[in-house]
Amino acid sequence: MPTTFNWTAGLVFIGFFALVTVLGFVAARWKAGDMTQLHEWGLGGRQFGTVISWFLVGGDFYTAYTVIAVPALVYAVGAYGFFALPYTIIVYPFVFAVMPKLWTACNKGNHITAADFVQGLYGGRWFAAAIALTGIVATMPYIALQLVGMQVVIKSLGVTGEAPLVIAFLILAVYTYASGLRAPAMIAFVKDIMIYIVVIAAIWLIPSKLGGYASVFDAADHFFTAKGGATGIILKPSQFTAYASLAFGSAMAAFMYPHTLTGVLSSASAKTVKKNAIFLPAYTLLLGLIALLGYMAIAAGVKVTNNNDVVPALFLHLFPSWFVGFAAAAIAISALVPAAIMSIGSANLFTRNLWKPLVQPNITPSQEASNAKIVSLAVKLGALVFIIVLPTKFAIDLQLLGGVWILQTFPAVVFSLYTRWLKLPALFIGWAAGIGLGTTLAFMQDLKPIYVLHLGDASYPMYIGLIALALNIVLTLVLSVVLPARPALAAR
Amino acid sequence: MTQKDPTMRPDDTPPTRGSALKFLLLIPYLALLWLPFYNDVHPSLMGFPFFYWYQLLWVPLTSLILFVVYRWVR
């Protein structure tokens, strides 16, 4: 990594960042609405059509951290790091089948969060609060990781210190405050187009510089053969269940997060959500190619001390300065979009499902909106402090745990769309047991996502979130059978 | 809103034409979660080992399946 400021790259970077900042503030006037209403600020007025939603959800789901971390994992271990690919394919049949139903239910009830939906269905305050808290806690480290993505690319421009990160995040905080979801929706256009350009340039240029894809894969193969262990350009049979369960569990968890749900709920109609499920896989193609950057780095002989530096290091190695700046800006802006939506999603949850029911039941709609704006600031500030004060490892570990936790909201959110038969205490106990088991197993594995299940002589490494979800579902079903009907239900 | 919302019942509309096509949605799960199908280097395509181009191929195939279901299932 360079230690002096790269002027050409730096100026290109600053130029694009300035453009996006202006867009962020202009966005408040775009498809103007009454910003004193939470659904206007926090869902953009539920009016985004197929094209805007495509950019928004794509920009929100495929984050800066993805662009940094997936190639880093592929660089380190090979094929196993590719689980992100099946994950982001099989997520779409699920989105297609389930999310339009959720959109319809939430639109009818004016729900803006998953916890709102659960509360509307089952009543009570505490379970909805638990769902909300799960969402917020799972999202915080995710925001922090977006900062890591930004930090990595800023460092590659030869800038040291935390100042640029702080400035970038203050800008983000202020325009999210002013424009709400409209800001990331508008910025997502720029961000996605820039990322597409970078990746297309990379897949076009890099193989010709490295002698074609066959030699890229050959280089990776030799590298992993020399490295040994559970690495390689295809999986070891012992990795099969880990790979498949990570892909499946991650896919089921992906649209339980507040930021992805916010993206879905801001769509104009259930049909928009369906259409988007058809077209969103285009981003997965992009992700697959981004993942290959890990192998290209190996083929280019890039050496890094921290795997997360592998993408910027590869860009520095192969691209001219001005394009390094462009690529760095693309990644940094990629951090802004999800970070903004994540903070908005968390703020919606906090305001609607924690503050309103537990602290200030008679809050007015405009107080609700201003409360959410302030919470979104606090959430981002929290993430910033987190990343500056604590080692990055904490954010990574917590984000992993967050995935396990958010998956435990699946039965309450998804099953409830199909049946009214589940009982609130059953869902609550299932959720708690899932969180308990998932957290325990994760700590037993030193915060690795995989736990080895033994069945007879065979052993199956499985994603912990999925093991916990299995317990959660079994408990929810069994308890829904054995628990007595609630008086309120019996009276109906 | 502390009361149950009566509008939130799952919709009771009976299955209509082409609903068997919905089972197509399961195919990507089978194709991608059963690793013995594709954990191989051969046959390679344009330099890509099978493991990679097979998974990448499932991106457009999944879109296609979703389109078919979108178009023909109401």
CATH code of the domain containing A378 = 1.20.1730.10
Q: Which residues contact A218 (CB under 8 A, 6 or more apart)?
A: none
In whole angstroms, give the CA distance from residue A450 to residue A13.
38
In whole angstroms, give the CA distance from residue A331 to residue A145.
13
Query: Is residue A397 in a domain?
Result: no
Helices (H), B1-74: 27-33, 50-72
What phi, psi does A227 have (nearest 5°)? -70, -40
pTM of the complete model = 0.90
Q: What is the pLDDT of residues A135-158, one digit of tens each?
A: 999 998 888 888 888 888 888 888
Of A108, A216, A274, the CB nearest to B8: A108
Helix axis angle, A321-349 to A7-26, nearest 10°:
30
Q: What is the pLDDT of residues A33-61, one digit of tens each?
A: 777 888 888 888 888 888 888 888 888 88
Q: What is the pLDDT of residues A412-465, one digit of tens each?
A: 999 999 998 999 999 999 999 999 999 999 999 988 889 999 988 889 999 999
What's residue B11's pLDDT? Answer: 47
Q: Touching check for A281 and chain B: CB below 8 Å?
A: yes
Query: Is residue A449 in a domain?
Result: no
What's residue A383's pLDDT? Answer: 84
Query: Is residue A440 in a domain?
Result: no
- The answer, yes or no, to whether residue A313 has pLDDT greater than 70, is yes
Closest to A27 measured CA to CA, from A48, A39, A44: A44
For residue A125, which residues of chain B lie inside 8 Å, CB to CB?
A: 2
Closest to A278 measured CA to CA, from B68, B53, B56: B68
**Which of the four pLDDT bands, split at 50, 70 and 90, describes residue A17?**
confident
**Cβ–Cβ of B46/A213 closer than 8 Å?**
yes
Please name the helix (run of DSSP H) or strand (run of DSSP E) that holds residue A68, with its range, or none. helix A64-77
Please name the helix (run of DSSP H) or strand (run of DSSP E) that holds residue A358, with its range, or none. helix A356-358
Complex ipTM: 0.89
AA letter at A243: Y
Identify the domain containing residue A202 by its residue range: 7-390
| Residue A452 DSSP class | E
**Cβ–Cβ of B56/A85 closer than 8 Å?**
yes
What's residue A442's pLDDT? Answer: 92
- Average pLDDT of A87-101? 95
Alpha carbons within 13 angstroms on the beta-carbon side of residue A416 total: 26
- Average pLDDT of A15-30? 81
Query: Is the distance from CB of A339 to CB of A107 less than 8 angstroms?
Result: no
Cα-based angle A65, A68, A69 (whole degrees, multiple of 5): 80
For residue B29, which residues of chain A lie inside 8 Å, CB to CB?
A: 90, 93, 248
**In 10 A of CB A242, how many CB atoms?**
23
**Cβ–Cβ of A108/B7 closer than 8 Å?**
yes
* Structural tokens at position B25: 């949605």
Query: Is residue A422 in a domain?
Result: no
